[in-house]
Amino acid sequence: MNHLSQALEFDKILETLSSFALSEKAKEEIRRLTPSLSETTCHRMMAETTSARTILNACGAPPLPLMENLTEILHQCERGAMLTPSDLIRVATFCASSKRMISYLKRGESLGEAIATFGRNLEDVSLLQEEIESSVNEDKVYDEASSLLRNVRRKQEHLESQIKDKLAHILKSRKEYLADAVITKRNGHYVLPVKRNCQGQFGGSVIEVSGKGSTVFMEPTAISNLQAQLTDLSIEEDGEVRRILYTLSASVSEFLHELRNNMEILELLDVLFAKAKYSQALGARAVTLHTKRHIEIHKGRHPMLSPEECVPLDFVMDENTRGIIITGPNTGGKTVTLKTVGLLSMMAQSGLHIPCDEGSVIALHDGYFCDIGDSQNITQNLSTFSGHITTVIEILQNTSRDSLVILDELGSGTDPTEGMGIAIAVLEELKARGCQFLVTTHYPQVKTFAEETDGIQSASMAFDRESLKPLYRLELGKSGESCALHIAKTLGLSSHLLSRANEVVYGTKQEHASISSTTLPPTSKLQRYVEPKKTTDLSKKFTMGDSVIILATNETGIVYRPADDKGDVVVQVKGEKKRFKHNRIKLHVSAAELYPPDYDFSIIFDSVENRKARRILGKRYDPSVSITTEADEFS
CATH of the domain at 63: 1.10.1420.10
Q: For the segment 260-299, what is each residue's pLDDT rounded down to a tens digit? A: 999 999 999 999 999 999 999 999 999 999 999 899 999 9
Same domain? For 311 and 188 the reply is no
Provide the percentage of residues in the chain whose pLDDT is more than 70. Answer: 83
Res 466: pLDDT: 60
pLDDT exceeds cutoff 50 at 82: yes
**Sign of the C-alpha dihedral computed for residues 392, 395, 396 and 400 taken in this order:** negative
Residue 134 lies in a domain: no
pLDDT exceeds cutoff 50 at 516: no
Same domain? For 433 and 395 the reply is yes
Q: For the segment 119-128, what is each residue's pLDDT rounded down to a tens digit? A: 999 999 999 9
Q: Which amino acid is at 228?
A: A
Residue 139 lies in a domain: no
Rounded mean pLDDT, 338-347: 95
Rounded mean pLDDT, 50-65: 96
Bridging pattern class, strands 215-220 and 189-195: antiparallel
Helices (H), 415-466: 416-433, 444-452
Same domain? For 459 and 318 the reply is yes
Distance CA(10)–CA(370), nearest Å, equals 12
Same domain? For 602 and 566 the reply is yes
Spatial CA neighbour of 275 closest among 14, 532, 475:
14
- The answer to whether the predicted template modeling score (pTM) of the entire model surpasses 0.95 is no
Rounded mean pLDDT, 407-416: 79
Provide the percentage of residues in the chain whose pLDDT is more than 90. Answer: 55
Same domain? For 375 and 477 the reply is yes
Same domain? For 24 and 100 the reply is yes
Contact in structure between 616 and 622 (CB atoms under 8 Å): yes
Distance CA(354)–CA(230), nearest Å, equals 68
Contact in structure between 295 and 315 (CB atoms under 8 Å): yes
Rounded mean pLDDT, 516-528: 39
Same domain? For 302 and 427 the reply is yes
| Count of structural domains within the chain | 5
Q: What is the DSSP letter of 275?
A: H
Q: What is the DSSP letter of 134?
A: T
Rounded mean pLDDT, 478-491: 65
Q: Select from 501, 518, 533 the last residue of a domain.
A: 533
Residue 131 lies in a domain: no
CATH number of the CATH domain containing 570: 2.30.30.30
Distance CA(219)–CA(272), nearest Å, equals 63
Query: CA separation (Å) from 466 to 469, 486, 487, 491?
Result: 8, 10, 10, 11
List phi, psi (to 5°) of 473: -120, 125
Residue 173 lies in a domain: yes
Collapse the DSSP code of 577 into the 3-class scheme (helix H, G, I; strand E, B; otherwise coil) and give the result: strand
- Range(s) of the domain holding residue 528: 493-533
Residues 563-577 as b or e (16 or more Cβ within 10 Å = b): beeeeebbbbbeeeb
Residue 135 lies in a domain: no
Distance CA(378)–CA(530), nearest Å, equals 38
Banded pLDDT at 517 (limits 50, 70, 90)? very low
Collapse the DSSP code of 442 into the 3-class scheme (helix H, G, I; strand E, B; otherwise coil) and give the result: coil
Q: Which amino acid is at 176?
A: E
Residue 232 lies in a domain: no
Rounded mean pLDDT, 470-494: 70
CATH number of the CATH domain containing 375: 3.40.50.300
Spatial CA neighbour of 37 closest among 349, 447, 330:
349
Provide DSSP, 302-320: -TTS-TTTPPPEEEEE-TT
Res 529: pLDDT: 45
Q: Which amino acid is at 264?
A: E
**Sign of the C-alpha dihedral computed for residues 296, 302, 307 and 309 taken in this order:** negative
Distance CA(252)–CA(296), nearest Å, equals 53
Banded pLDDT at 452 (limits 50, 70, 90)? confident
Greater confidence (46 vs 7) lies with 46
Same domain? For 438 and 307 the reply is yes
Same domain? For 216 and 338 the reply is no
Rounded mean pLDDT, 336-365: 95
CB atoms near residue 476 (< 10 Å): 15
Bridge partners of 555? Answer: 550
Spatial CA neighbour of 281 closest among 346, 354, 345, 336:
354
Query: CA separation (Å) from 190 to 168, 185, 255, 428?
Result: 11, 5, 43, 90
CB atoms near residue 462 (< 10 Å): 17
Distance CA(385)–CA(412), nearest Å, equals 7
pLDDT exceeds cutoff 60 at 481: no
Same domain? For 274 and 317 the reply is no
pLDDT exceeds cutoff 70 at 505: no
Residue 246 lies in a domain: no
pLDDT exceeds cutoff 70 at 136: yes
Residues 411-445 as b or e (16 or more Cβ within 10 Å = b): bbbbeeeebbebbbebbbebbeeebbbbbbbbbbb
pLDDT exceeds cutoff 90 at 98: yes
Banded pLDDT at 155 (limits 50, 70, 90)? very high
Same domain? For 271 and 387 the reply is no
Bridge partners of 562? Answer: none
Residue 243 lies in a domain: no
Same domain? For 562 and 604 the reply is yes
pLDDT exceeds cutoff 90 at 93: yes
Contact in structure between 337 and 474 (CB atoms under 8 Å): yes
pLDDT exceeds cutoff 80 at 524: no
pLDDT, the chain, mean: 85
Banded pLDDT at 379 (limits 50, 70, 90)? very low
Q: Which amino acid is at 65?
A: P
Banded pLDDT at 372 (limits 50, 70, 90)? confident
Rounded mean pLDDT, 413-419: 75
Res 3: pLDDT: 58
- Using left for φ > 0, alpha for ψ between -120 and 50, and beta otherwise, residue 208 falls in beta
Banded pLDDT at 509 (limits 50, 70, 90)? low
Distance CA(443)–CA(229), nearest Å, equals 95
Res 532: pLDDT: 41
Query: CA separation (Å) from 159 to 147, 149, 181, 182, 517?
Result: 19, 15, 21, 19, 99
Q: What is the DSSP letter of 492?
A: T
